[in-house]
Amino acid sequence: MKFDLHIHSCLSPCAALEMSPAEIVRRACAAGMGGIALTDHQSARNTPAIAECARRAGLACLYGLEVCTAEEVHTLALFDTTEQALAMTEWVYAAMPKRVNDPETFGDQPVVTWDDDIVELEWRILAMGCRRTIPEVAAKCHELGGLYLAAHIDRTAFSVTSQLGGIPADVPFDAVELSRTADEAVWRPRAAGYAVTRSSDAHNLDDVARVWTEADLDAFTVAALKDAFRRQATTLSPKLTKF
Amino acid sequence: MTAAEIAEKVGGTVAVAADGAQATSVYVGDLLSDVMGHAGEDCVLVTIQNHLNTIAVCTLVGCTVLVICHSRPIPPDMAEGAAREGVAVVVTPLSQYAVALALKELPPSTH
């Protein structure tokens, strides 16, 4: 099964407004994905919408968020249910700055319905980090039954590499993610001991499922992925030459 | 101090110019949440964070001159954001500390 575990919707301030849950699901199905995960910055508030779209399309979906930690490292927390993802969101929100987002500065953050109506604009600045550290976020994610991944470890900003100099040995990451342009031959050895994934980190529709991870899964669930990750049994799509 | 004067002092180049961009104090920081919490208005921000979010943080704190250290490249979306928001971007081969020394006639930024 092929899957893309890192996709942003219009809720992310840096993502295109065209990233409606319905369109994301359409693109993922067209690209032959067996499963996807929605991972907006600091928030899972569009996961109920994509859950409905995925259900209608018969596409398996995980529900998550890309948590920017106190170290300003991007990490993925992925769950089987929207309830778990929203509980994680509330916990992250409690440690977010109280400043109100200015859409002119950072971008719009619409919470939408499955059929593209705007419910409200999220007021928090989802582009900013929260006060929770990586070990704290890992513990909370696992307590809620989720998968915890270090995002785009090869990137020169917002990664374990850029912020901490490497993958912290004391954090129980279930897997580490390579970006769409990372050279697997270079980064596999640096991620020795960890399962490796590659996902699109799509911020616009053309990037959905442009790269992917493949594994032999009975079902697209946290438990099945955790098992595949434990066996480090993932293969990656080829890298792209341009981000 | 204008962006052009700052560029000269730090041996750098103005990658993005902005009308009237100038600084009366200095803040050095690579953690944007720290910058957001502590940098004051009209400071020059000295950092290695060469991405668009840095421009947004400059806008939030009222900083109109940004110095990017170690000759890190300015991505196109960052340059566009800076031009749009009126933030001048200077790129220098120097480290953060070396830039701070070069700008020592300006006081530390206070929040």
Distance CA A136, CA A182 (A): 28
Query: Rounded mean pLDDT of A117-138?
Result: 96
Cβ atoms of residues B91 and B13 within 8 Å: yes
- Contact B32/A99, CB-based, under 8 Å? no
Which of A98, A128, A130 should be substituted to probe chain B, the one whose Cβ sees the most B Cβ atoms within 10 Å? A128
Distance CA A202, CA A59 (A): 18
Which of B30, B32, B61 should be substituted to probe chain A, the one whose Cβ sees the most A Cβ atoms within 10 Å? B32
- Checking if the pLDDT of B85 tops 90, the result is yes
Distances (CA, A) of B24 to A83, B3, B6: 49, 11, 11
pLDDT in tens, A51-73: 999 999 999 999 999 999 999 99
Query: Rounded mean pLDDT of B13-42?
Result: 94
Query: Rounded mean pLDDT of A24-37?
Result: 98
- Contact A105/B52, CB-based, under 8 Å? no
The model's confidence at residue B33, banded by pLDDT at 50, 70 and 90, is confident
Residue numbers of the domain that contains B33:
3-102
Chain A 68-87, CB below 8 Å of chain B: which residues? 70, 72
Domain annotation covers residue B61: yes
Chain B residue numbers with beta carbons less than 8 Å from the beta carbon of A128 are: 32-33, 36
Distances (CA, A) of A216 to A83, A213, A231: 27, 10, 11
Say what the pLDDT of residue B111 is.
81
Among the CATH numbers 3.20.20.140, 3.40.50.12160, 3.60.15.10, 3.30.230.10, which is that of A2-236? 3.20.20.140
pLDDT in tens, A161-220: 999 989 998 899 999 999 999 999 999 999 999 999 999 999 999 999 999 999 999 999
Could you state, in order of their start, the residue ranges of all structural domains in chain A?
A: 2-236
- The pTM of this model reads 0.90
Q: Which of A14, A105, A129 minimises the CB distance to B60?
A: A105
Say what the pLDDT of residue A106 is.
84
Higher pLDDT, A9 or B32: A9
ipTM of the complex as predicted: 0.73
- Checking if the pLDDT of A242 tops 80, the result is no
Distance CA B29, CA B103 (A): 15
Distance CA B25, CA B16 (A): 20
Query: Rounded mean pLDDT of B75-94?
Result: 96
Say what the pLDDT of residue A243 is.
65
- Contact A157/B50, CB-based, under 8 Å? yes
Chain B residue numbers with beta carbons less than 8 Å from the beta carbon of A161 are: none
Query: Rounded mean pLDDT of A76-102?
Result: 96
Contacts of B92 (CB under 8 A, 6+ apart): B7, B10, B11, B12, B13, B67, B68, B69, B71, B99
> Domains in chain B: how many in total?
1
Query: Rounded mean pLDDT of A33-42?
Result: 98
CA distance B49 to chain A (A): 7
Distances (CA, A) of A27 to A23, A175, A202, A209: 6, 25, 11, 8
Dihedral sign computed on CA atoms, order A98, A100, A106, A111: positive
Distance CA A134, CA A157 (A): 16
- Checking if the pLDDT of A136 tops 70, the result is yes
Q: Domain containing B73 — which CATH number?
A: 3.40.1390.20
